Amino acid sequence: MKEELMICGTSITSGGKGKGSLSFMAKLWGRECLKVREVLIIRGLNNRLLDGSYNRCIDWLEDTLRELNSKVAADFFTLLLNCWNNRNKMVFQGKENPAIMVCERAQALSNEFRIFNLNDPPVIPPTLVNIDAAILDGCVGYGVIVRDADGFVLSGCYGFAYMSLDVIWAELEALSIGLKLAETMKISKLIMESGNGTLTNTVKKCENDVTILGRCVKNECMVLRNFESVHFNWVDRRNNEVADLLCKLAIKNKCDLYFKMDYPLEIHNVIIREAIKRG
């Protein structure tokens, strides 16, 4: 099977064997491609790659890319593109630029591309953190689940304690656990979701809330300064099933558990169901 590659307007066919076959590099560095060789030498491509014998175009490209890291590889293809443009200039205008000018223009183009990317960083969607708490017979269970914008589990935990608490105070403790977990994961943007409307409203108005609950919420929310942005939402129980199930598992197992993507098998079906609903 033959391969054909156009470099600087020169058609290079490779893949044949026998007396009629001509190595890829021999034709590339022939009379019509001396300018390409000069440009690549200026940019520091080593002699093994310039003088090697290759019968297939792809073999030369593969060896070249093995020598270069990803950033330099991008510059390499930019350089080949500029060589192509220089050849077109020779064909249509009857003149071509010196090799050093081709190199400098390729370098300038690469730098401008990187600067453009720096000015327009990718938008990272916020991470979703669901919290819940459950109370049963003097036992408290806390549940926290952390997922990305597509519903994939990143981390989570459940906690257990023997104590008698009002629901709102148990939910506040779950909030504290969720914020600490997000801080540990170095998440910059997050959305906190709770099924407790009182807690959600208190968090949003804690600056002006002079009640004991409001002061405690404000104290717990001091950690918010470590995040770029945090939004608090109330959700109904149907959209908070995973965190609710983690609370029940904590009470059932009477222990604490921290996990990353290897979440407990018991919550798998609920995670899939919630991901479908949110999708």
At 80, list the tokens.
């080949």
Per-residue pLDDT, 20: 38
Per-residue pLDDT, 254: 95
Query: Average pLDDT for residues 140-152, to the nearest whole number?
Result: 92
Residue 4 and residue 19: Cα distance in Å, rounded? Answer: 19
Q: Where in the chain is the domain with CATH 3.30.420.10?
A: 127-278
Query: Average pLDDT for residues 104-113, to the nearest whole number?
Result: 54
Judge contact between 132 and 240, C-beta under 8 A: yes
Per-residue pLDDT, 59: 72
Top pLDDT among 68 and 18 is at 68
Judge contact between 146 and 128, C-beta under 8 A: yes
Top pLDDT among 18 and 121 is at 121
**Which of 180, 134, 176 is CA-nearest to residue 155?**
180
User: Tens digit of pLDDT for each residue in 187-200?
Assistant: 999 999 999 999 99
Average pLDDT of the chain, as a whole number: 75
Per-residue pLDDT, 132: 96
Quickly count: other Cβ atoms within 10 Å of residue 210's Cβ. Answer: 6
Judge contact between 78 and 101, C-beta under 8 A: no
User: Tens digit of pLDDT for each residue in 214-251?
Assistant: 889 888 888 888 899 999 999 998 889 999 999 999 99
Distance of CA 39 to the CA centre of its chain: 35
Length reported for the chain: 279
For 127-278, give the CATH class. alpha beta
Q: Give the containing element (helix H, strand E) for 160.
A: strand 153-162
